[in-house]
Amino acid sequence: MKKKKKINKSGPKKLPGKYRQLLEFFRLNPRKSFNYKQITHQLGINSQEQKEDVIKILQVMEKEEIIEAVDRGRYRYVPDFSLFTGKVEFTQRGAAFVLVDELEEDVYVSKSLSGMALNGDIVTVELIRQKKGSRLEGKIIEVVERARTEFVGTVQRMKKFAFVIPDNSRIHVDFFVTPENMNKAKDGDKVVVELLDWPIGKPNPYGLVTSILGKAGEHDTEMHAIVAEFGFKVDFEPNVLADAEAFPDTISKEEISKRKDFRKTLTFTIDPVDAKDFDDAISYKVLDNGNFEIGVHIADVSHFVRPNSALDDEAYDRATSVYLVDRTIPMLPERISNHLCSLKPNVDRLAFAVIFELDKNADMVNYWVGKTVIHSDRRFSYEEAQEVIEGNSNEYKKEIQQLNALALKLRSQRFKSGAISFESDEYRFTLDENGKPLEVIKKERKEAHKMIEDYMLLANKTVAKHVYTKIKKTLPYRVHESPNVEKMAFFIQTAKKFGYLIDTKSHETISATINSMVERSEGKVEANILHPLAIRSMEKAVYTTKDTYHFGLNFDYYTHFTSPIRRYPDLIVHRLLFDYLNKKNGPDAEAIEKACKHSSQMEQKATQAERASTKYKQIEFLSDFIGDVFTGIISGVTEWGIFVELKDNHCEGMVRISDMKGDFYEFYEKDLSVVGRRTGRRYTFGDEVKIRIKKTNMNKRTADFSLIHE
C-alpha cells in the first residue's frame, strides 16, 4: 500500500474545538471545495470574530497540507493514505466490510461506525486501526454512490408513523415513514419504499412508500417482492412490444436464399417438458464416408433484435432471463422468444449454426459456421429422449442412440483432458393452485440432458476457438479463472476430513483429485456437502473480452453462443460472428467489455433472486412441519450457530448456539466447530445430526432448529 507522508490530522493546540469542527466538516465532504463563507454558513457561524477564527484555521490547515487551495479562497480536503473508496458489504448483524481494490484485505467496519451507508454502496472509508497482525478497521465517512434507492419490506405501523422492515437482512436499518408518505399502506403490507433522506444524527433513513405489493406471506406477494427487491422489470414497454410485433410470421424467399438450407435434413429439439421456447436444435446425417454430420442450430435472435432498437435496448438492460420457482421473467417479449425465434416442429425457422463432421470416435474432422434455415421434424422432452436412449421404440431411435454414443465419447474426452465432472444438485417444488409447496423433488440429470449439453459445449468451444485463432478479433468469452488455493482451504480441509485428498500442486492435479473425490463420493452422505462446497470455493465464471480460459471445463477457448433467447452475451456473439464472417468490424472492444461486465452483474443478480425464491419456498414448506424431527448434515458453522441441511428435502435451517442445551458451547474459528466446554461434544461441518423444527420466519426466510441428543 502506497503511503503519503504522515500528516498531523489531530490539529494544533490552539483553537482545538473549532479546528476539529472544520476537520470533520472537510472529512465528511472529501471531494468538494468550499470558500470560507460557505463553510461558516453550513456550520452556523455568524459572529465576525468566529469567522475570522475560521480564516486563521483554514490558513493553518493549508500550511499543514490538510487542505489545499483549488482556487482563490476555495479549499478542498487532502486525503491521506488512510482514506480509500470501495464497495461496502454488510453482514446480517450490521457490521460491514469495505472492499477496496488497492488493499489486499477488506476493511472491517463496526455497526456504530458505518454511518449512513447501506449494503452495496460505494463509500469512502477511513482507516482507524492498522496494527501489525490485526485486521484493518475503519470508519465510513461518506457515501459516494448509492447502490439503490428502492427497497422491499413489510410495514409496521405505529400510532403516528410507521417503519418499513426490509426483507433483505443485509439492509441493517428500518425505514421511518411519516403518515403522508404511507401511500395508503396498512400494517403487514409488503411494499416498495424509496429512500428520501437520511438526516444527520438520525438513526433511521426516511422513506416513501411507492407501491404496495400485497399482504406479506401470500405467494404472489412474496414472488413480486423478490422481483422488486432485485430490481427486475416484469412488463415490457409498448414501444418494445411494437418492435416485436412488427416482424411478419413468414420467412421471405430472399432471406432463405442467403442461408444454408437444412430443411430436408433430420432435425429435432430436446427440451424440458414444460419448455415454451426452443432455442437449440440438433440435425443429424450420415455422410458417404461413414462420418457423421451433426448440426447445432441456435435460434437466430440477431435477425430480429437489431442494434439500437427498442428491443435491443431492453434486452441489454435485462441481460438475462430470470427463473423463479413459479415463473420466468424473460429477457425478450413472448412474440420473439416463444414464437418467431422458437425452433418449433413442422415450421421453417431461422438459425445460426455450427455444423460438425465427426468420425466414429467423435473426433472432429471438419466444421462450418454460418446461418441456416431449418424445419424441425420432432419435439422431444428430455424424458421422451431418455426413454429412446434406454431402448424404447421410436422412429428416430437409431439416430438418437448414435447421437448419444458420440456424446459419451465427447464427454469422456473432456474429462480425460482435465474438466471437472461434479454437478450441483438442483431441486424443484410441486406447488398447488395457490403456489403452496407440497413436496421437494430432486431434478435428475440423465443421459438425454448430458447429451444435449455435450453438443452445446462443443459448439461454444468451437465458436470461441474459431474467432480467437482464425479471425483474431474481439469476442465476449466465458471465463472461469483457475482456483485460488487460499480460497479453497476450507474445502480442502473438509474433504480431508472425509478421506479425500485434494492435490494443489497444479491445475491438473486439482482437477484430477476433485474428479476422484466426485467419483468416490457418489451416492454417499458427504457428496451433498462436498460437491456444492467445491463449487463455492472456486472463482465465479464471468463474461469478458480479455481472456479465454475456462478452468472448470479445461477449455482454452470458450464462449456462450447457444442461448441468445435468454442471455444477452450470446446475442452479442451472434452479431459479432456474423460481421466477422462477412469481413466487417464489430463495435469497439471497450463497448463490448462494458456489456460483458453489465451482463455478469445481471447474471449474479438473477442467481441471487432465484435462490431467494427457492429459499422462501423451502421455509414455507418447513412451516408445515413445526415440531417434527428430521436427520440432517451440518452445512455451515458460525459464531452464532450451526446450519443444518435436511437429508429428506435439502431445506436448510439454523441451530443457534444460544439454544443448544446441556452445556456451554463455544465457537472455534480455526476448525469451524462448536464445542461443549464441559462435555467436549463437538459439532463440525459434515456431521450428521437429528433436529426438531422449532420455528420459521417467512419474512426473513429463515428456519430455527433445535438439536436432539441421542
Q: Can you give the CATH number for the domain in which 630 is found?
A: 2.40.50.140
Find all residues with CB under 8 Å of 69, minimum gap 6, and list them: 62, 75
| 111 and 29 within one domain | no
Residues 6+ apart with CB under 8 A from 672: 490, 637, 684, 685
Question: Tell me, what DSSP letter sits at residue 340?
Answer: I
Whether 113 maps to a domain, the answer reads: yes
Q: What is the pLDDT of residues 48-92, one digit of tens each?
A: 888 888 888 888 888 887 888 888 888 888 766 578 899 999 988
Q: 10 Å Cβ neighbour count for 508?
A: 12
Residue 191 lies in a domain: yes
Show the domain range for 52.
16-77
* Bridge partners, 96 (sequence order): 90, 109
Q: Which residues contact 344 (CB under 8 A, 6 or more apart)?
A: 278, 376, 379
Supply the DSSP symbol for 339: I
Residues 101, 61 share a domain:
no
Q: Percent of the chain, pLDDT > 70?
A: 95
Q: How many C-beta neighbours within 10 Å does residue 388 have?
A: 21
In this prediction, residue 6 has a pLDDT band, given cuts at 50, 70 and 90, of very low
Shared domain check, 53 and 118: no
Name the amino acid, one letter, at 466. H
Instruction: Judge if 533 and 586 occupy the same domain.
Output: yes
- Report the C-alpha gap between 618 and 429 in whole angstroms: 9
Strand pairing of 74-77 and 67-71? antiparallel
Residues 364 and 270 in one domain: yes
| Residues 251 and 356 placed together within one structural domain of the fold | yes
Q: Are 291 and 298 spatial neighbours (Cβ–Cβ below 8 Å)? A: no
CA distance 415 to 685: 29
Q: Structure pTM? A: 0.82
CB 662 within 8 A of CB 674: no
Total domains, the chain: 6
Is residue 280 within 8 A of residue 546, CB to CB? The reply is no
Over range 182-198, report the average pLDDT. 94
pLDDT at 419: 87
pLDDT at 212: 95
Across the chain, mean pLDDT equals 89
Q: 237-251, 404-418, 664-678 — which is least confidently predicted?
A: 664-678
The length of the chain is 710
Confirm if 249 and 349 have CB atoms less than 8 A apart: no
Residue 312 near residue 327 (C-beta atoms within 8 A): no
Classify residue 65: in a domain, yes or no.
Answer: yes
Res. 16: pLDDT tops 70: no
Domain end marker among 353, 384, 405: 405
CA-to-CA separations, 238 to 99, 105, 233, 235, 310, in angstroms, rounded? 40, 48, 14, 9, 10
* Residues whose CB falls within 8 Å of the CB of residue 473, separated by 6 or more in sequence, listed in order: 467, 576, 580, 585, 586
Last residue of a domain, one of 382, 405, 428: 405
In a domain, 101, yes or no: yes
Closest CA to 35 of 11, 65, 64, 70: 70
Are residue 316 and residue 342 in the same domain, yes or no? yes
pLDDT above 90 covers a percentage of the chain that reads 59
Out of 612, 639, 668, a domain closes at 612
521 and 457 within one domain: yes
Q: Are residues 597 and 703 in the same domain?
A: no
Tell me: do 640 and 527 sit in the same domain: no
Check pLDDT > 90 for residue 190.
Answer: yes
The predicted structure's pLDDT at residue 81: 54
Q: Could you tell me if 260 and 383 lie in one domain?
A: yes
Distance of CA 654 to the CA centre of its chain: 23
- Classify residue 1: in a domain, yes or no: no
C-alpha cell at 311: 428491443
Under DSSP, is residue 142 helix (H, G, I), strand (E, B) or coil? strand
The predicted-structure confidence for 99-118, as pLDDT tens digits, reads as follows 988 777 889 999 999 999 99
Residues 482 and 593 in one domain: yes
Residues with Cβ < 8 Å from 529, sequence gap 6 or more?
Answer: 494, 633, 635, 645, 685, 686
Please say if the pLDDT value at position 3 is more than 50: no
What is the C-alpha separation between 117 and 65, in angstroms, rounded?
Answer: 28
Q: Would 3 be classed as within a structural domain? A: no
Tens digit of each residue's pLDDT (9 = 90 or more) over 660-706: 988 999 998 777 789 999 999 999 888 889 999 999 988 788 999 99
Is residue 227 domain-resident? no
pLDDT digits (tens, 9 = 90+) for 261-305: 999 999 999 999 888 889 999 999 999 999 999 999 999 999 999
207 within a domain of the structure (yes/no): yes
**592-626 pLDDT per residue, tens:** 999 999 999 999 999 999 999 999 999 999 999 99
Position 12 scores a pLDDT of 40
For 9-23, 98-112, 245-259, which range has the lowest pLDDT when averaged over its residues?
9-23
185-199, 429-443, 608-622: least confidently modelled range: 429-443
